[in-house]
Structure 1
């Protein structure tokens, strides 16, 4: 499965604490050993349900240590039997786009 999620402190401070807290959450994900990527809006992580959810909880916990309120948005693609979909989904779209070149 792939989970796209966003964590943010809901009560930021005046010193840029939001980006710092998000960086700490992303560090938790990157240290998990699971395939992941971060973009401007979400962090994507790939693995089994029981692998991913503790990582997301740990990421929330580091943000909660900085803020009394945390916002969390999750979107999941649950597709048993498929792996490496963080890359494969993008490759399929890119292949379609390259097929359109020269049409």
Structure 2
């Protein structure tokens, strides 16, 4: 459902993140829950929203900002 939505998304080890306007994101969430309900007796959903009008490409820009802050200022790779 999420990938087919065409909205920017990312899946990692813990979460699936999706970015878009409220109504379009909630429609994808609703359809994804319905798809799981059709195959499982129980659906667990954790929803966290970061609502920032006028901000787009948050999935990429947030990670880039963190990486920039983690980078050393002397040209050497940062220890992580």
Q: Common fold, TM-score beyond 0.5?
A: yes
1:86: which partner in 2?
A: 59
User: What is the Cα deviation at residue 100 of structure 1?
Assistant: 4.8
Tell me the number of residue pairs that the alignment of Structure 1 and Structure 2 aligns: 76
2:70: which partner in 1?
A: 97
**Relative CO higher for 1 or 2, CA cutoff 8 Å, sep ≥ 6?**
1
TM-score (norm 1): 0.69
The structure in which a higher percent of residues are strand is 1
The structure in which a higher percent of residues are helix is 1
Choose the corresponding residue for 1:47, options 2, 13, 20.
20
SS in 2 for 1:72: coil
1:29 and 2:7 are equivalent in the alignment:
no
TM-score (norm 2): 0.88
